[in-house]
Structure 1
Amino acid sequence: MAAFLRFYDDETRKSLRRQRIFRDRLNPLNSYCDEEMIKRFRLDRGSILSILDNVGEQLERPTKRSQGLPASIQLFAALRFLASGTEQRVIGDTLGISKSSVCKSIDKVVKVLSTSLNTIKFPSEDADILKTKHGFYSIAGFPNVVGAIDGTLIPITAPKSDEHLYICRKGFHSINVQAIVDSDLKFLSVVSKWPGATHDAFIWANSGIARKFERSEIDGWLLGDSGYPLRPWLLTPVNNPKSRGEQSYNGSHRKTRVVVEQAFGVLKSRFRCLHKTGGALNYEPEKCCMIAYVCCQLHNICVDLKLPILEEDEMDDINDADQDGDLTYQGPLNDGKTVREALIRQRFL
């Protein structure tokens, strides 16, 4: 009798054991037109195939346990997550793979793309710098501008360590991503590594691009809001403008600098994982920073190809608001106020 019960228990456990399910995988390359591809993955067929050509071998390297998923399925799983912020189980059901496979794909693709894509470049050639300046000048007549700078907050879940450092001034956990953009809303420089409580001015002061401006390696001005220090190479608005020239300067400054806010709006509309409507990035801060950086790289591909933002992804009004304080620094070597006043006299009176 005891032997029969043991046999019965063994058979019962086997019958209750979850059976392995083999799903029919969907290959979007064979299923969607370009418009549908852009709607779901934000990139067109050509750019996705180009990325696969560059990183496919890295994604398909076999593991100790198996050959793994095809590179195309891994890439589509990651792109779908970046584009929508959708739950991984839903993405898996759509592509015919498991939730764990989606998780592994996101992790692998983000790591590979963060080191393989090279779309974020500050202009260095004279012709490129001149083109950038012309682009900004055409907006509101502000001369000599090579970039607009600002920071944006990316919501994340509360990290396990140093949790207080990630609570931003708006009261939620985030990372603070600083970017410089051109007049076409393309990212020229991105710093994605600081907690949400970090002030924009601190991020700027500790960036490599700031040191290049300090060493006069870049010819031109950046435009920043009042959260940044006034420098000869970083011009901020005039607080409490009194003259017509100061008011005209502020108006031109505002119309020109707004491109960085527009760029963040387009970025978060394209890649909903970065926007509050997609919830919050449920990863460790280091990976969240990497995801934000990869999204900026992919955004630049979209800008270069002039890919549309479809109607269902209308631009959000992304404005993280100026940080308090007029950080105006004066001195014989860093007299940004003198540069600003001279510009007002020459251009805006």
Structure 2
Amino acid sequence: MAAVILQRQRQRRKRRNCKERVVTIDHLTEQEVVSGYRLDKASNAELKGLCREDLSPRTDRFCSLQSMTKVLTGLRVLAEGDFLSEVADLHGTSKATAATVVDEFVNSVNLRLRNIRFQTDRTELNKIKRKFYQKCRIPNIIGAVDGTLITIQAPTEDEAAYVCRKNYHALNVQAVCDPDARFTDVIAMWPGSQHDAAIFNSCGLKNYLELNDIGMLLGDSGYPLRKYLLTPKLNPSTPQEVEFNKYHSRGRIVIEKSFGLLKSRFRTDSLIQCRGGARAIFPCDS
């Protein structure tokens, strides 16, 4: 009798209905993929392979979420800054699932993607120095450093410390880039009220440059002049000083360009607010 009742209950149980999910981008053109996800098809496939171990379904249950769906969901949030409900509808998931997926995706990228590393090889450093010299006619330059403000939601702890000089909540993110506008060092852990010079003085890169005479960084007037950090001349009074500032600006502008490219491609405020943060650090800081 009990077996008959159990069989009837199973018959009455409705089959689980899942939304149609996006598991591939083959039906989209290259332009549509770049517009919606900021990466081309090849880069999406490479990112999927890189994060496969972290994002692959851990069970064979019905309607388990595939790794490509997670990659596309995460990229969409970072690229467009869309509401989670809209991203969930677009990729066939629930809002709660989309929120969990974004966290998983960002944490996996932080763990697996190791493309931001300061160059220490002498041969590569010489190539960087030559490119900077061609750009700004200043020798021995290995990078440009600056900070940028990334908007965040007001935190629940030490809220006042995150209010920046522009009167909104932010992180002050320090970055160094090479002459090709590629980031070589990024620190995204300091509140918006922190000064650029204070962040640099406490970072591992500064300690490394002090101990190793490998070249100089270009920084703006907010940084102190050091043997490894070249800043512009304040209140130039001679034609030579004016000319120096002009070439210094020509070399340092690459870091401004890098920030512009980053913020135009990805919504960096969405990136920072994900659990785990977006933090690529110099080895000395780890």
User: Do they fold alike, i.e. is TM over 0.5?
Assistant: yes
The equivalent position to 2:264 in structure 1, one of 242, 261, 269, is 269
Corresponding residue of 1:182: 178
Q: Quote the offset at 1:20 in angstroms.
A: 7.1
The equivalent position to 2:216 in structure 1, one of 214, 221, 245, is 221
In the alignment, the residues of structure 1 paired with residue 213 and residue 80 of structure 2 have an alpha-carbon distance, to the nearest angstrom, of: 37
2:236, 2:242 within 8 Å by CA — same for their partners in 1? yes
Report 1:160-171 matches (<5 A). 160-171=156-167
Cα distance, 1:50–1:234 mapped onto 2, change above 3 Å: same
Q: Deviations over 1:54-111 (max 9, x none)?
A: 2212112527x98841111001000011111111111111111111111111000101
Cα distance, 1:202–1:129 mapped onto 2, change above 3 Å: same
Q: Deviations over 1:114-140 (max 9, x none)?
A: 011010011122221111112211212
Amino acid at match of 2:38: R
Corresponding residue of 1:291: 278
1:251 and 2:251 aligned: no
Q: Quote the offset at 1:21 in angstroms.
A: 5.5
List alignment gaps of at least 5 residues for structure 2: 1-14, 282-286
Q: Quote the offset at 1:156 in angstroms.
A: 0.5
Q: Quote the offset at 1:177 in angstroms.
A: 0.6
Corresponding residue of 2:81: 85
SS of the residue 1:291 aligns to: coil
Q: Quote the offset at 1:281 in angstroms.
A: 6.8
2:132, 2:141 within 8 Å by CA — same for their partners in 1? yes
Cα distance, 1:33–1:149 mapped onto 2, change above 3 Å: same
Fraction of identical pairs, as percent = 37
The equivalent position to 1:237 in structure 2, one of 228, 232, 239, is 232
Corresponding residue of 2:25: 29
In the alignment, the residues of structure 2 paired with residue 92 and residue 72 of structure 1 have an alpha-carbon distance, to the nearest angstrom, of: 14
Amino acid at match of 1:132: I
2:216, 2:230 within 8 Å by CA — same for their partners in 1? yes
SS of the residue 2:217 aligns to: strand
Amino acid at match of 1:122: F
Amino acid at match of 2:71: L
1:84, 1:273 within 8 Å by CA — same for their partners in 2? no
2:151, 2:169 within 8 Å by CA — same for their partners in 1? yes
Deviating beyond 6 angstroms after TM superposition, the runs of 4 or more aligned structure 1 residues are none
1:154 and 2:150 aligned: yes
RMSD of the TM alignment (CA)? 2.3
1:82, 1:272 within 8 Å by CA — same for their partners in 2? yes
Q: Quote the offset at 1:266 in angstroms.
A: 0.5
Q: Quote the offset at 1:33 in angstroms.
A: 2.4
2:57, 2:66 within 8 Å by CA — same for their partners in 1? no
